[in-house]
């Protein structure tokens, strides 16, 4: 008997993630066609060059689309604003 259900997996997470990404891209191919994904990072350092905040995501230039996947700010720098000068 085959049992269908929800599985919470803590091992092989990257393998499952890759599978989901590939299937989603394949599903979207008829709508988006071929496109180039460009990953990017932007980050802020303190005076000692330690990273204190940053973002990670990707851009699809064909569709002028950007997706942020990660945003992080070191706790002691949160809710303080930022001025590059």
Q: What is the pLDDT of residue 72?
A: 96
HEC string of the chain?
CCCCCCCCCCCCHHHHHHHHHHHHHHHHHHHHCCCCEEEEEEEEECCCCCEEEEEEEEEEHHHCEEEEEEEEECHHHCCCCCCCC
Structurally, how many domains does the chain consist of? 1
79: CATH: 3.40.630.30
pTM: 0.63
Q: Which domain holds residue 83?
A: 35-85
Q: Could you read off the pLDDT tens digit of each residue along the chain, which spans 85 residues? A: 556 788 888 888 999 989 998 898 889 888 887 778 899 999 999 889 999 999 999 998 888 889 899 999 999 989 888 777 6
- Any domain includes 79: yes
For position 59, what pLDDT does the model report? Answer: 92
């Amino acid at each position: 008997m085959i049992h269908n259900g929800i599985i919470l997996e803590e091992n092989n997470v990257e393998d499952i993630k890759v599978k989901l990404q590939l299937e989603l891209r394949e599903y979207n191919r008829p709508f988006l066609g071929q496109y180039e994904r460009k990953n990017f990072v932007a980050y802020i350092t303190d005076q000692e060059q330690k990273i204190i905040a940053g973002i990670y995501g990707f851009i699809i230039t064909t569709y002028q689309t950007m997706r942020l996947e990660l945003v992080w700010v070191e706790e002691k720098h949160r809710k303080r604003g930022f001025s590059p000068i």
